[in-house]
Each structure stands twice: as C-alpha cells, then as structure tokens.
Amino acid sequence: MPKIKDTVKEKYAEALEKSKEKKDTACCSEGSPVEHIRPVAGLFSGELIAPSFGCIYDLPGRADIKSGEIIVDFGSGSGYDLIRAAKLTGPNGKAIGIDMTPEMIDQSKANIDKMGLKNVEIKLGEIENVPLEDNIADVVISNCVINLSPDKQAVFSEAFRILKSGGRLVDADKIAAKEHPESLKENSDAWCGCISGALTKEGYLEVIRNAGFENIEFEIEDKSSFKWEGEEIILYNGIIRAIKK
C-alpha cells in the first residue's frame, strides 16, 4: 500500500495527542470497520503519559523477562511496555525502544526522564531496518505493531539478526482466521486499526520460519469479528513466541 508508513505515523501521532487529553487510548480506530478495543491501562502520574496501544496487557510480564537481560521493543511508542521491561530487567539489564514516530520518541524520552530510569535507550528508526548491531538482545518484544508493517519478512529477519543465540521473540499481534479480501487489505483506516495487515497463523509461521526462528508457538487470547462486504472477518489477539537457536 503506497505511503502506508506515513499514514501510520500520522495516525499514531494523533492518537498520542488524544491520550494527552485523556480522551482515548485506542489507536487509529476511527473509520475502521470494527471497534478496535485495546487495553485502556496506561501509566498516568501527574504529567507522565504512557498509554498502551497494544493488544495484550502487560506484554513484558508475559515475556518471562529476567534480571540483567537486554530487551528490544519494536514499536515502543510512548514507552508503556518499554518502561515495564526496564523495571523487570533491572539496573544490570537494558531496555531499548525502536519507533518511527518522532512524537512517540519525544514522549517516551520524557516519561523515562521523569521516572529516573537509567537502563533505557530510545532510537528513532524503522523495525524493517533496526539501528542496532547483530546479536545483542536476549528478548525482542512487540505489542500489536508488526502487523502495521508492509514488509513483515524484513521485520522478523531483523529481530532474528539482533537476537543472541538462544534469544527469544515475543510478539503480541492480531492474527487473521483466514486471508483478508484485497479490498480490506487496501483500506488505510483498517490498516491503521491493526486489521488489514494481520496475517493468518500460516502466514506468520511462514515469515517467522523464513527468518530462521524455531520452536514457534501461538497463544490465542480472544477474538473479534465484523462484516466486510458481506463476509465475516474474524481476528484473534494472540502472542507468538519463537526462539533463535
């Protein structure tokens, strides 16, 4: 889809602005064919603004993060999961956030400064071309972001590249029950609503395996459905786990 990244950046910047007014923490749902429900939990304390735009609540807590590990968060947004990951890995570890939206980077840095965290680093960059060296991460996490990428093979290949041997991928994402109609794939509102870009389980398996991962597992949390041009579209929220051997 032409200029999909520009559209996603614009919509996520708008969503962040709404969250500052505490109006909403759902991202890019306006105009989508289905209400896109996301966790409303966020870190609000005074001027601290770190809403969660993910589809799974407390993904770092589900990722079995251990003290001293290096965590990379693909699409770290305003820092909700990143801050949680930094706390779990502790002062001997490190959490690194990657995000392509400048407004999200600025908000995330402000939140980290206000919380006094010293084990966090934020980088402006795209998850298809991560600005990090090879073999540095113990865990790569991502919370409903990879489905926004038009080149998921590049994203999973980058996750594999930066992970150490034995490192793990923990991706929370929308999973389609079946292949989407082309008209839905081309709808920009549905794309920004984390709908159009969702792959099937088989689709995720293919690109993740092609990246080199093994021991791929799916944990389905819940599902939603809506009608599109007379056809029922079913989406699952799930966690995809994989290992770099």
Residue with tokens 């991560």: 130
What whole-number distance in Å separates Cα of residue 74 and Cα of residue 158? 10
- Amino acid at residue number 151: D
Position 2 confidence tier, pLDDT thresholds 50, 70, 90: very low
Contact 135, 165 (CB under 8 A): yes
Cα–Cα dist 210/206, whole Å: 6
What angle in degrees, to the nearest 10, is found between the helix axes of 152-162 and 201-211? 40
Does 50 or 169 have the greater pLDDT score? 169
Query: What's the whole-number average pLDDT of the chain?
Result: 86
Domains for the chain: give ranges and CATH numbers: 4-243 (3.40.50.150)
Predicted confidence band at 1 (pLDDT cuts at 50, 70, 90)? Answer: very low
pLDDT over threshold 60, residue 79:
yes
State the Cα torsion 215-219-223-229 to the nearest 10°. Answer: 0
Name which of 128, 119, 66, 125 is nearest 99 in CA terms: 125
Q: Which of 102, 191, 180, 110 is nearest to 148 (CA)?
A: 191
Reduce the DSSP state of residue 158 to 3 states and report it: helix
- Give me the phi and psi of 185, to 5 degrees please: -60, -30
pLDDT of 16 above 70: no
- The residue-averaged pLDDT of 58-70 equals 96
154-203 residue pLDDT tens: 999 999 999 999 999 999 999 999 999 999 998 888 887 889 999 999 99
Residue ranges of alpha helices (H) inside 53-151 are: 59-62, 80-89, 102-115
CA torsion sign, 218 to 223 to 224 to 227? positive
Q: What angle do CA 68, 65, 139 make, to 5 degrees?
A: 85
* Residue 157 neighbours by CB distance under 10 Å: 18
Q: 10 Å Cβ neighbour count for 66?
A: 13
Task: Read off the pLDDT of each residue in 2-26 and give the average, rounded to a whole number.
Answer: 62
